[in-house]
Amino acid sequence: MRLLARLFAKVTHSCNVCGAVQRIPLRRVHVFERFHGLDHGEPVLIHCPRCRKGIQCPSPYRSHTGHPITIDPHDPSENAFVHAHY
């Protein structure tokens, strides 16, 4: 049962300006982190496709290296990887 929950887990990215929400599968986030060679604890932020002003911050999750990722939407970290379009 735990395997199924892990296969279908999703990360919710919400915009810090307009509140737009995207739910992205966790396995896709992990593949993205591996592809770009992100280090321990580097989160993936997305420019908001709706308002184009804000940044979508993820809900708490574990990265592909197993480190917990928690971001304050009003004060994103400096070492975050910001992706232009998703």
Residue that the structure tokens 């599968």 belong to: 25
* Residue 32 structure tokens: 């993205």
Q: What is the CA 37 to chain-centroid distance, rounded?
A: 15
Q: Which of 4, 17, 15 is nearest to 58 (CA)?
A: 15
In a 13 Å sphere around the CA of 45, the CA atoms on its Cβ side amount to: 23
The string of pLDDT tens digits covering residues 8-52 is 889 999 998 998 999 999 988 888 888 888 877 788 888 988 988
Beta bridge partners of 82: 45
- pLDDT at position 12, please? 92
- pLDDT at position 73, please? 79
User: What's this model's pTM, rounded to 2 decimal places?
Assistant: 0.79
Contact 24, 14 (CB under 8 A): no
- pLDDT at position 85, please? 63
